[in-house]
Amino acid sequence: MVGGRSDDGKKMAAPKLSRKKLVELLRSEFPEASHALGRYRIEKVWHGGCRVRLPFHERTLRPGGTIAGPVMMGLADFTMYVAVLSAIGWVPLAVTTNLAINFLKKPAPRDLIAEARLLKLGKRLAVGEVAIRSDGQSDLLAHVTATYSIPAGS
Amino acid sequence: MVGGRSDDGKKMAAPKLSRKKLVELLRSEFPEASHALGRYRIEKVWHGGCRVRLPFHERTLRPGGTIAGPVMMGLADFTMYVAVLSAIGWVPLAVTTNLAINFLKKPAPRDLIAEARLLKLGKRLAVGEVAIRSDGQSDLLAHVTATYSIPAGS
Amino acid sequence: MVGGRSDDGKKMAAPKLSRKKLVELLRSEFPEASHALGRYRIEKVWHGGCRVRLPFHERTLRPGGTIAGPVMMGLADFTMYVAVLSAIGWVPLAVTTNLAINFLKKPAPRDLIAEARLLKLGKRLAVGEVAIRSDGQSDLLAHVTATYSIPAGS
Amino acid sequence: MVGGRSDDGKKMAAPKLSRKKLVELLRSEFPEASHALGRYRIEKVWHGGCRVRLPFHERTLRPGGTIAGPVMMGLADFTMYVAVLSAIGWVPLAVTTNLAINFLKKPAPRDLIAEARLLKLGKRLAVGEVAIRSDGQSDLLAHVTATYSIPAGS
């Protein structure tokens, strides 16, 4: 694994971009897009990984009271993006080439917590996984793997 | 294949729910969620497939001028949902269990056109694929496969 | 789409390597590996696509009389490999980076027919889909999407 | 997570089938198929997870000296199957519905070690992930997610 996990007690390497710097850059460079910070809260960043919170909002519900799938897909994609930048620095044009999500459990009406870690960091591709949970709960709601393509010369 | 394709000249079977009926039900039952109609326009529905348009909006752009990935993921998920309902009738609690997307080409700043067709329709699972293109263009922007779980007794 | 389909009546572009040449090269260069021809029969090759047959053999059965999943995964990977070479020429070190398969129907004890076509052919990545059927039947047994990484300078 | 990991020091729950019993059943019931033990060595089984070794063999190489992708796909599928049986007992007709693999690193010519753990164990579906490494090395060679369908009434 490239990245440490936030919860395993291992010492984690410093990210190439601090949490503060990342937040500044995302705010100034992505004013409108889904990769904008929007409602996402970057809670922690380390080399090859990060944790992002999405506060609960009723608008994200679908019938049956569950949080809509695309909300989790967007959160996973953003969290993976931050994990990639934490390892390669500010390369905003890195783009997702592939994302696969398994929905495992109906989410509770609570904040979502996504944690990403890179499984591979190559020159051209970065591959990682993202675990999504309800705040304060250990069961997985969704598991995601994603690949980002890193522009040549980055 | 379960569903015909809208563009192949074959006669397509009638859907279990007409386009008009589907639009009514989605409007009344999903007032706020991502599966709500929102900005989606269901253009055509047949048994096991459908075509959905997402009008272009600047808010969906990310730096570099491309439409954000999660916008396409949400569109694909919705389009697949409509294709499932077209084949099984109004079973709103059908839920996505797995979705995999390959991003193939940078989208132009135009409407997105998504076309879904079911590859399998079982008692418990429906599997389909979704092709996303820019309006009026033949190249694929993204290709999606997704699985929906159908509640028992539906 | 990059490749035409063998069954849609459109004129297909000539492949970069003829079927005959491909078979010769695979035989001489892959004497032992899974990418060797082994029991695979390349039936048709066009630019960006191909059709491959795997003759039925009892050894590939699993309990219940169905053909084992890994047999179909190996067939899909090989078929996609041939489709990539048909479009870029003899670049044997192209490698799979991602493969996703949906198993749709229990195979009959018959030959398997796999048909691949490229969805995207870029400088660094080729993405395609593979449909697997039982010989003489129209239902899909499995649907595969796969990405190959193309070595720089190929 | 349903299953503990073999390497995290947590106490793991007992599997529904012991390693010894599983090996006996697989040997007697799958005499010829890919789910047969074949060259696979089940090294450890716990509730919701297991570790399987595939001894190195030159026949599995492809040009460039790397182990062929389908060898890893077959190993992952088998390992996931054992993990499912460890949690639900002897239900041999459980079948893979979806498998997605990311190839991360060129394998060394050594034994492969696959470790599976379930991410979800439902009544109808079990979802898990498999990590594949070269024996004695920590880097991932491949990461797999897979879904098994559990027959009704099991």
Which one, of C73, C96, C60, lies nearest residue D80 by Cα?
C73
Q: What is the largest CA-CA distance in chain B?
A: 48
Window 79-138 of D: residues touching C by CB (8 A cutoff) are 92-93, 95-103, 106
**pLDDT score of D3:** 46
| Cβ contact, residue pair A98, C147, below 8 Å | yes
Q: For every one of its 154 residues, what pLDDT tens digit does chain C have, with 9 covering 90 and above? A: 454 444 444 557 899 999 999 999 988 877 655 555 678 999 999 999 999 999 988 766 666 666 778 899 999 999 999 999 999 999 988 999 999 999 999 998 899 999 999 999 999 999 999 999 999 999 999 999 999 999 987 7
- Residue D124 has phi, psi (to 5 degrees) of -110, -30
**pLDDT score of A38:** 72
Chain A CA closest to residue D146: A102
| Cβ contact, residue pair A100, B98, below 8 Å | yes
Residues of A in contact with B62 (CB under 8 A): 30, 33-35
Q: Answer whether residue D39 shows pLDDT above 80.
A: yes
Q: Which two tokens stand for residue C146?
A: 């796969």
Q: Are A148 and A94 in contact (CB under 8 A)?
A: yes
- Residue D119 has phi, psi (to 5 degrees) of -95, -25
At B76, which helix (H) or strand (E)?
helix B69-88
Chain C CA closest to residue D66: C33
**pLDDT score of C13:** 84
The 3 state secondary structure assigned to D31-43 is: CCCCCCCCCCEEE
**pLDDT score of B13:** 84
Window 10-49 of C: residues touching B by CB (8 A cutoff) are none
A60 touches chain D (CB under 8 A): no
**pLDDT score of C5:** 45
Q: Is the dihedral of CA D2, D8, D10, D13 positive or negative?
A: positive
pTM for the model: 0.91
| Cβ contact, residue pair C147, A100, below 8 Å | no
What is the interface pTM, i.e. ipTM, of the complex?
0.89
CA distance D58 to chain A (A): 26
Phi-psi category of residue A64: left, alpha or beta, with phi > 0 → left and psi -120 to 50 → alpha: left
Q: Are A112 and A67 in contact (CB under 8 A)?
A: yes
In sequence order, which ranges of D30-125 are alpha helices (DSSP H)?
69-88
Chain B CA closest to residue A91: B63
Residues of D in contact with C66 (CB under 8 A): 95
Q: Are D77 and C142 in contact (CB under 8 A)?
A: no
Residues of B in contact with A103 (CB under 8 A): 95-98
CA distance B145 to chain C (A): 9
**pLDDT score of D1:** 43
Contacting subunits of D (3+ beta carbon pairs below 8 A): A, B, C
- Provide the β-strand partners of residue D120: D127
**pLDDT score of D60:** 66
CA distance A96 to chain C (A): 13
Confidence of residue D154 (pLDDT cuts 50, 70, 90): confident
**pLDDT score of A59:** 67
pLDDT beneath 70: ranges in chain A? 1-11, 31-37, 59-66
Residues of D in contact with A139 (CB under 8 A): 1
SS percent in chain C: helix, strand, coil, step 5: 20, 35, 45
- Half-sphere exposure in the Cβ direction for C39 (13 Å, CA): 13
Residues of B in contact with C100 (CB under 8 A): 100, 145
Candidates B30, B62, B100; nearest CB to A100: B100
**pLDDT score of A1:** 43
Tell me, rounded to whole angstroms, the distance of Cα B108 from its chain centroid: 19
**pLDDT score of C32:** 54
**Cα-trace Rg, chain D:** 15
Chain C CA closest to residue D98: C102
Candidates B100, B124, B125; nearest CB to D100: B100
Q: For every one of its 154 residues, what pLDDT tens digit does chain B have, with 9 covering 90 and above? A: 454 444 444 557 899 999 999 999 988 877 654 555 678 999 999 999 999 999 988 766 666 666 778 899 999 999 999 999 999 999 988 999 999 999 999 998 899 999 999 999 999 999 999 999 999 999 999 999 999 999 987 7
Amino acid at B142: A
